[in-house]
């Protein structure tokens, strides 16, 4: 709290937001009866993996909260297997492909992750997640298992792909496909869960393309922001088709003399992500339930704020650039309805327009992409 306040010292409205948020969040949200040990443990895991996002999940209405929490933890489980380079491919492939069956196996746990894997403990105690999964309504179980099936198989295909292992993601099409597996499917699954709960119309589950793009927008923003973190562990998610226009090796952007190329390539990446923004607003415009709306909108506004911060920002290549906690909290407090969220999108598209300059090879395309966000009418 003290560091967050200090970071916002020149942004008084963020100080107000931080204090407001602190008081809002200090009251316990939902109390789980002490005998439901597995459920308590699941929420502990949720709170450990992501503080602010966990709070947003816990604010969801009763009909959907547990299903989303378990969906999140199942996805984390898959991720923890995919991520771990110490698991040999012969072992990893069946683990990923069969994960949708594993979640039905009462008592299943996994302790073969490397000691440094950050969510290792989740798989060590995965029996609690399975117990709660099996306690969900059958329809929720089917949605979660179906997404785990598709995602696990997609991840396994990439983990086995020789070109991907050597060079990383190759084409723009590959980039969209990879992001579809790890994030687009999450959007598709969430829309199905929302519809299944009855809190959203059945039609929302049919909006698979818009749901997919919601995930792509988030994941592409993460990939741009995490350039350095990923490069240091030799993961290359920036598509080769984009960066080879500027350099021979993705790591060259870090070298002195490559600053202009680095910032131009960054613009191409940001433009690629930004093109999904209008469709994300279109998706959010279809959400009726207040708690689901905030749940969807908060990561989205953080993504567009992040893109605006990363645009023209050479620091991306030398450190991890993140929005201040104060700015995050201010955004969280504002995400109450589609008009506010559309205003936030417009605000950050203007921030991008102000940083745009005519020497950028993407100048026109970026102006158009921002223009589309600005002109979108919400009805």
Is residue 151 part of the contact set for ligand IN0 (CB under 6 A)?
no
Nearer to ligand IN0, 133 or 295 (CB): 295
Nearer to ligand IN0, 298 or 366 (CB): 298
Active site residue 225: yes
Nearer to ligand IN0, 75 or 169 (CB): 75
Q: Give, as ranges, the residues between 259 and 318 that touch ligand IN0 (CB under 6 A).
A: 295-296, 299
Taking the complex as a whole, how short is the minimal distance between the CB of residue 329 and ligand IN0, in angstroms? 12
Yes or no: say if 132 and 37 are a contact pair by the CB < 8 Å rule: no
Please select the residue that binds ligand IN0; options are 152, 154, 168, 187, rule is CB under 6 A: 187
Chain residue whose CB lies nearest ligand IN0? 187
Nearer to ligand IN0, 225 or 240 (CB): 225
Taking the complex as a whole, how short is the minimal distance between the CB of residue 242 and ligand IN0, in angstroms? 20
Tokens standing for residue 310: 């990363």
Please select the residue that binds ligand IN0; options are 21, 45, 72, 140, rule is CB under 6 A: 72
Active site residue 295: yes
The helix (H) or strand (E) run that includes residue 214 is helix 208-225
Q: 250-254: long-range contacts (C-beta < 8 A, 24 or more apart)?
A: 250/168, 253/227, 253/317, 254/228, 254/317, 254/318
Taking the complex as a whole, how short is the minimal distance between the CB of residue 74 and ligand IN0, in angstroms? 9
**How far is 345 from 285, CA to CA, in rounded Å?**
13
Tokens standing for residue 327: 């700015």
**How far is 216 from 272, CA to CA, in rounded Å?**
10
Residues present in the chain in total: 379
Is residue 215 part of the contact set for ligand IN0 (CB under 6 A)?
yes
Taking the complex as a whole, how short is the minimal distance between the CB of residue 245 and ligand IN0, in angstroms? 26
Yes or no: say if 232 and 281 are a contact pair by the CB < 8 Å rule: no
Is residue 227 part of the contact set for ligand IN0 (CB under 6 A)?
no
Taking the complex as a whole, how short is the minimal distance between the CB of residue 19 and ligand IN0, in angstroms? 20
Q: Give, as ranges, the residues between 165 and 184 that touch ligand IN0 (CB under 6 A).
A: 182-183
Active site residue 65: no
Please select the residue that binds ligand IN0; options are 18, 42, 46, 75, rule is CB under 6 A: 75
Please select the residue that binds ligand IN0; options are 7, 52, 121, 313, rule is CB under 6 A: 52
Of the CA atoms within 13 Å of residue 346, those in its CB half-sphere come to: 11
- Interface residues with ligand IN0 (CB under 6 A) are 50, 52-53, 68, 71-72, 75, 182-183, 186-187, 190, 214-215, 218-219, 295-296, 299
- Residues taking part in catalysis: 178, 225, 235, 295
């Amino acid at each position: 709290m003290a560091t967050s306040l200090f970071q916002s010292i020149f942004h008084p409205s963020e100080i107000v937001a931080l204090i407001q948020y602190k008081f809002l969040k200090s009251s316990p949200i939902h109390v789980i009866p002490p005998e439901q040990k597995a459920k308590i443990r699941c929420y502990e895991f949720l709170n450990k993996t992501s503080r602010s996002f966990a709070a947003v999940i816990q604010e969801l209405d009763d009909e959907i909260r547990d299903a989303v929490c378990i969906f999140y933890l199942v996805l984390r489980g898959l991720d923890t297997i995919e991520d771990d380079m110490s698991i040999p491919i012969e072992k990893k492939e069946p683990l990923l492909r069969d994960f949708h069956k594993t979640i039905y196996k009462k008592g299943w746990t996994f302790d073969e992750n490397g000691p440094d894997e950050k969510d290792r403990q989740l798989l060590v105690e995965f029996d609690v997640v399975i117990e709660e999964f099996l306690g969900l309504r059958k329809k929720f179980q089917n949605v979660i298992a179906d997404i785990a099936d598709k995602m696990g198989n997609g991840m396994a295909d990439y983990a086995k792909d020789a070109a991907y292992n050597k060079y990383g993601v190759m084409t723009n099409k590959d980039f969209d496909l990879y992001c579809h597996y790890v994030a687009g499917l999450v959007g598709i699954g969430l829309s199905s869960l929302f519809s299944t709960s009855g809190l959203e119309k059945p039609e929302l589950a049919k909006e698979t393309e818009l749901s997919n793009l919601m995930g792509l927008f988030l994941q592409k923003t993460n990939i741009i922001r995490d350039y350095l973190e990923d490069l240091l562990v030799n993961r290359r998610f920036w598509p080769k088709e984009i960066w080879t226009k500027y350099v021979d090796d993705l790591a060259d952007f870090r070298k002195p003399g490559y600053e202009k190329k680095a910032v131009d390539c960054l613009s191409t990446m940001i433009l690629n992500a930004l093109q999904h923004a209008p469709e994300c607003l279109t998706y959010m415009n279809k959400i009726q339930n207040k708690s689901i709306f905030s749940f969807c909108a908060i990561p989205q506004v953080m993504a567009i704020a992040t893109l605006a911060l990363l645009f023209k920002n050479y620091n991306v290549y030398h450190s991890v650039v993140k929005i201040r906690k104060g700015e995050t909290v201010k955004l969280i407090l504002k995400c109450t309805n589609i008009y506010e969220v559309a205003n936030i999108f417009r605000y950050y598209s203007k921030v991008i327009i102000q940083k745009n300059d005519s020497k950028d090879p993407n100048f026109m395309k970026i102006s158009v992409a921002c223009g589309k966000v600005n002109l979108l009418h919400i009805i």
